[in-house]
Structure 1
């Protein structure tokens, strides 16, 4: 695609990257066929090709309007288009660049600003989020349905983590909302790893991966959180930690991007590349281990929801399904498994109508094989799908660990 960046755009820190991505797009339109929002709305500007044109116009100095912002906001950042694209267009990076420019030029209404600020204040702070969630559980009958759907159906406590020491050690990103919404997920992970002779090194100074801030256009704050995590993990990395394990693929996708996002930071570029290399989704760790020695005898019928971040960002489509099959679970077929469930980080809150339509479509597909339970690999998807009050939705590692109890 021919481009002619404005003088202002040429001064942007990622101007060369934006131009390179724009030029790599051949506007073939294959991406629109797999874009969830285009399928719902049928508007070219609510598909990847149309959004690329909008960002091109922005970077070439044309007028930026609230409509431009709306079309970019509606994007789920699911990266389905990147899986489909024959030209390897790095759409998500271009979207981040375009959104940041539009955010500077188009003031948001007060309500939108307040909502986004509230999300950034609450979600990345585990203690605050847990306190508010606990209060919400106590007051559930008084809350509107939209908020009730964001709470767990039942209070769940985490089982104890193993205390044994092992020569093999990994770090684990605990996450922001998962410790409150599904506290047993990371505990179950630690217990399964323990049975394989792998210990989890605590890193209490590590916090939010940075994705919430970054994708709400507070990109500097998101990168600040990334640097803080690198500092928190670095002593264990130097001591020989084998991996940084994520049980939420949304976090994993962002941590995997640290090396790219901090490549121009002289103080962190080398460390960030090392973190990217060590970053692994849980399935990547377990599938390389002799899991048969765990003695799992599973007989439940599952539907697996493969999060967009797992299949399109981390390129691990089929990995969890293969592992669950090795464990003996029976997996049902899921039509259109490449499509997003509508969770997409904070999207279910900032774009509730579109998100609910995508959720209902996804649940219809997941339930078409009559599973006993739906399992997934990302806390956002888990909470969003389970909030419909239909088939129970859990993290897959919890079902694996239960067969060991």
Structure 2
């Protein structure tokens, strides 16, 4: 696709990257066939090809307005189109560049600004978020439905974490939303890794990965969070930590991108590249270990929802399913497993109507074979799917640990 960036756009830090991505696109339209929002809305501008044209026009100096911003906002960033694209177009990078450029020129309505600023102020702060969640649970009957469905009725207590005692050590990204709404996910991961001879070394200074800020009009603040995490992890990395483990694939996809996003930062480029190289989803760590030796009682029938960030960003589609099968779980067939559930980070709050439609479609597929539980690998998907109040939804590592505990009993 031929393009000529405007003088103003040419001064953007990622201008050459944007131009290179635009030239890669051959307008074939294969991407639209797997785009969730295009399938729902049937509008070319709500598919990847149309959004690429919108970004191209904006970067070439064409006027942009609320309509352009809305079409870009409606994208889930699921990256399904990247898996489909025969030309290898790095769509998510172009979208990030385009969104930031449009947001500089288009002032959002007050309600949108307030929502986005509130999410950025609350979600990455676990202590503040926990206080608000407790208040929300106490006032649950008075909350609007859109918020009520985001609050689990009860949280599973995390239990004790093992004290680090093994020569093999990994770091664990605690996350922000997950440690408040599903605190047992990381605790179960630490206990299971300990059983396999791998200790989780705590790094309390590390915080939110930065994805919330990055996707809510605050990319500079997101990169500052990335730098703080790198600084927090660096002593342990130098001391020989094997990996930086993520149990939420959305966080994992963003940490994996640190090296790319900070490649122009002379102080952090090398360190960010090292962090990205060490980033591992939990399933990558466990699939290399003799996990079957722990003994299992895996009689439940599961439907696994593979998050978009796991299959399209991290390219780990099928990895969790293979591990669950190794452990003896019965997996239900799930039609259209490549499609998005509509969670997409904060998308279910900023685009609730579309998110609900996608969630209901996904649940129909996940429940089609009558599973006992739905398993997933990302806190956003977990909360969004569970919010429908249908089949219980849990992180797969909690289901695995529960099966191990049954066998021990």
Same fold by TM-score, threshold 0.5 exceeded? yes
The 8 Å contact of residues 304 and 331 in structure 1, kept in 2 or not, is answered as yes
Per the alignment, residue 306 of structure 2 pairs with: 306
What is the CA–CA distance in structure 2 between the aligned matches of 1:401 and 1:327, rounded to whole Å?
11
* Residue 403 (structure 2) pairs with residue 403 (structure 1): yes
List aligned pairs for 1:91-170, cutoff 5 A.
91-170=91-170
What is the CA–CA distance in structure 2 between the aligned matches of 1:250 and 1:211, rounded to whole Å?
8
What is the CA–CA distance in structure 2 between the aligned matches of 1:357 and 1:55, rounded to whole Å?
26
The 8 Å contact of residues 34 and 81 in structure 1, kept in 2 or not, is answered as yes
The 8 Å contact of residues 165 and 199 in structure 2, kept in 1 or not, is answered as yes
Per the alignment, residue 175 of structure 1 pairs with: 175
1:153 Cα offset (Å): 2.7
CA deviation profile, 1:244-292 (whole Å, cap 9, x unmatched)? 0000000000000000000000000000000000000000000011111
Per the alignment, residue 294 of structure 1 pairs with: 294
SS of aligned partner of 1:124: coil
Per the alignment, residue 253 of structure 1 pairs with: 253
CA deviation profile, 1:326-364 (whole Å, cap 9, x unmatched)? 010000011111110000000000000000000000000
List aligned pairs for 1:2-401, cutoff 5 A.
2-401=2-401
The 8 Å contact of residues 22 and 52 in structure 1, kept in 2 or not, is answered as yes
The 8 Å contact of residues 21 and 94 in structure 1, kept in 2 or not, is answered as yes
What is the CA–CA distance in structure 2 between the aligned matches of 1:181 and 1:126, rounded to whole Å?
10
SS of aligned partner of 2:380: helix
1:156 Cα offset (Å): 2.0
What is the CA–CA distance in structure 2 between the aligned matches of 1:147 and 1:9, rounded to whole Å?
39
What is the CA–CA distance in structure 2 between the aligned matches of 1:234 and 1:164, rounded to whole Å?
18
1:157 Cα offset (Å): 1.1
Which blocks of at least 5 consecutive residues in structure 2 are unaligned?
Answer: none
TM score, norm. by length of structure 2: 0.98
What is the CA–CA distance in structure 1 between the aligned matches of 2:398 and 2:155, rounded to whole Å?
15
1:139 Cα offset (Å): 1.2
The 8 Å contact of residues 32 and 49 in structure 2, kept in 1 or not, is answered as yes
What is the CA–CA distance in structure 1 between the aligned matches of 2:183 and 2:276, rounded to whole Å?
25
1:164 Cα offset (Å): 4.8
SS of aligned partner of 2:172: strand
The 8 Å contact of residues 170 and 199 in structure 1, kept in 2 or not, is answered as yes
1:155 Cα offset (Å): 3.0
What is the CA–CA distance in structure 2 between the aligned matches of 1:394 and 1:108, rounded to whole Å?
36
1:141 Cα offset (Å): 1.3
What is the CA–CA distance in structure 1 between the aligned matches of 2:286 and 2:89, rounded to whole Å?
31
What is the CA–CA distance in structure 2 between the aligned matches of 1:282 and 1:21, rounded to whole Å?
31
SS of aligned partner of 2:298: coil
What is the CA–CA distance in structure 2 between the aligned matches of 1:297 and 1:287, rounded to whole Å?
18
